[in-house]
Structure 1
Amino acid sequence: MMWRALSEETPGPKWSGLFDEYWPDYRRWWLKEGETARPTYAQSRRALKEHMPEIVPLWEDLCDLAGGGDHAARFLSFYCPPPYLAGCSQAIWTGKEPVLVRNYDYNPNAFDSLVLRTNWQGRRVMGTSDGLWGMVDGMNAAGLAISLTFGGRRVVGEGFGVPLILRYVLQTCTTVEEAGAVLARVPTHMSYNVTVLDKKRRYLTAMMSPDRKTIITHAAVATNHQENVEWVSHARFTATVERERFLLHRLTLHRDPQDKFISAFLKPPLYSTAFNAGFGTLYTAVYRPRLQEMELRWPGTVWSLAMNNFHEGGRRVQIPGAA
């Protein structure tokens, strides 16, 4: 798998080039249930203005760079996209230099393989891209780090794809409390667990759902269920309960040093090679908000990236089990 790291202060030719490259695949995915299954431009704009008004000008700039087309604008709103599932484990290791660590388990053929650093609207952000401006994990210059996991429920409702919600948090929030308030009010189209850590070592996990009120918890671990397992077959397939217990054990009963704790994410039961069944672990991410640094890890490989000394480039990695 070929990864890229790109930096662009304001939306411009680099982002436009990315859109041109990725849009054919994203368009097929977005239209797979038919155009009428997706909200109209007016509905998408109205939802953004109601729930995330601060980033509407940014969305408009990106729409212009994408060519101003109707489909592109609706896709970029992330409002009521097609449903999709992912695995993932994430946890907060607390200490003098706290870290947010996560595994992202997904289909390698439906993934941006891209780290973006931006300074959009004057807020510096870097993280793992999804949908070309959404993020599945990331961090901002205020020292706020964030990550998502699928929440293990089949309910689909009216709301936003969670990668855009993560981008919105990083664009507008500086503390865990501010992030929690956003996660409690912005609607999501599916169930997700979103974990947030700030530079003062405060953290939370928000259990978001389209059909019920968001639950804000002080959980340091999130896998692929919420308070209780509701989708039993998915829970068995992904071993969500076993992964949660494994992480809790290493944070509490048998507290690992930081390096050992991070290394555990690259081994079973957290690390998955089940690509033939739909998805496996594409990468491990480590966020150090106090140091403004992140790492992407694979077995035998570490790629370090710094907010204030960001180096563009590429990295070809071998992912065990991926075709």
Structure 2
Amino acid sequence: MLTFEAIEQLEPGARWAKLFEAHWPRYRAWFLQEGEAARPSYAASLRALQEHMPELVPTYERVCALAGGGDLEARFLAMWAPPSYLSGCSQAVWQGAPAPVLARNYDYAPERLEGSILHTRWVQPVIGSGDCAWGLLDGVNGAGLAVSLAFGGRKVVGCGCGFGVPLVVRYLLETCETTEQARATLRRLPYHLAHTLTIVDLGGDVCTAYLSPDREVELTVAVTATNHQGGVEWHDHARATMSVERHGALERLVTEAGSADRFVEGFLVPPLFVTDGNSRLGTLYTVAYHVGEGRAEFRWPGLRWDQSLGAFSEGVRTAGLARSPVG
């Protein structure tokens, strides 16, 4: 079973500290998997945040203190040149009336799922799926900007620099109100791994951004994304995760769905809904961000949980794993 907890922490405090304490043993093991010397120093990590994400530094200092003020915890929370990680994921934007919807499936190893749904007002109001304690996998903010991430399907890793993408998603949602502002931000940030972000704002401006440590960011108008950036480069990964097949299914879905409800329902059936097979990257949750309402619609087969910026409800939900609703 998968456990998801909705947590409201408008300012970093005791609830966030409890979340960090619960997940720190696993995150610590991941962060040190290549040895402590492989990770940047606290000084280097802080300099990177001050240079590239200064608006987040006050919040970073608060969460570091809440995490105990230790050197290792602070280096982890900076998410500067962290260890590499892989995921699947399918994401797309519905552009019909009355307002855009960004939907995604998060495909990942279940034992590595944080499972938090966070409502914060650190710089501006944000709801999103938590990762690395204060980063986000996807989310929507009070201005109606929604962002979602997917692995980019390339093996390249930044050489001791670049941010982990969950912090990039958090930064965009905290500091940007429009897709155009997000584009400008993405052009100047350094990235640790190849990832793809899909972004939409209240006005319907869509951008799918291809991020890589070894290339300039590529900003496209695509409304769909899986785990390859244009052409397939890592063929074994693409085959294992059915990236091309899922992308084709997304293209058909955005064309044929006919309504936002049918669009979201399409993520709950194969090939977009991925059972936990040989890839070890089964679908752990579906979420649809209704930007016109500031609402997040979390879905699992047979279960729905709505949250919004105006009516957030703390609580816990459990969901089964790796069963397609159509068998």
Residue number in structure 1 paired with 2:76: 75
Contact 2:79 2:164 in 1 (8 A): yes
Deviations 1:296-318 (A, max 9, x none): 10011111111111010111111
Q: Give the TM-score taking structure 2 as reference length.
A: 0.95
Q: Distance in 1 between matches of 2:7 and 2:226?
A: 29
In the alignment, is residue 100 of structure 1 matched against residue 102 of structure 2? Answer: yes
Q: Give the TM-score taking structure 1 as reference length.
A: 0.97
Contact 2:240 2:278 in 1 (8 A): no
How well do the aligned residues superpose, as a CA RMSD in angstroms?
A: 1.2
One-letter identity of the residue aligned with 1:210? P
Deviations 1:219-250 (A, max 9, x none): 00000000211001111111111111111122
One-letter identity of the residue aligned with 1:289? V
One-letter identity of the residue aligned with 1:198? D
Deviations 1:16-53 (A, max 9, x none): 11111111111111001100010000110111111111
Residue number in structure 1 paired with 2:20: 19
Contact 2:276 2:322 in 1 (8 A): no
Displacement of 1:104: 0.2
Question: Size of the alignment, in residue pairs?
Answer: 320
Contact 1:10 1:119 in 2 (8 A): yes
In the alignment, is residue 263 of structure 1 matched against residue 282 of structure 2? Answer: no
Task: Report the secondary structure of 2:58's partner residue.
Answer: helix
Give the alignment partner of residue 225 of structure 1, picking from 228, 238, 249: 228
One-letter identity of the residue aligned with 2:305? W
1:39-188 aligned at under 5 Å gives the runs 39-96=40-97, 97-121=99-123, 123-157=124-158, 158-188=161-191
Task: Report the secondary structure of 1:167's partner residue.
Answer: helix
Residue number in structure 1 paired with 2:284: 282
Q: Distance in 1 between matches of 2:110 and 2:32?
A: 20
Q: Distance in 2 between matches of 1:148 and 1:291?
A: 21
When structure 1 is superposed on structure 2, of 50-59 and 66-75 the one drifting more is 50-59
Contact 1:298 1:319 in 2 (8 A): no
Q: Distance in 1 between matches of 2:102 and 2:266?
A: 13
Residue number in structure 2 paired with 1:246: 249
Deviations 1:148-179 (A, max 9, x none): 00000000002010000000001100000001
Displacement of 1:95: 1.3
Displacement of 1:274: 2.1
Q: Distance in 2 between matches of 1:259 and 1:124?
A: 25
Task: Report the secondary structure of 1:287's partner residue.
Answer: strand
One-letter identity of the residue aligned with 1:222? A
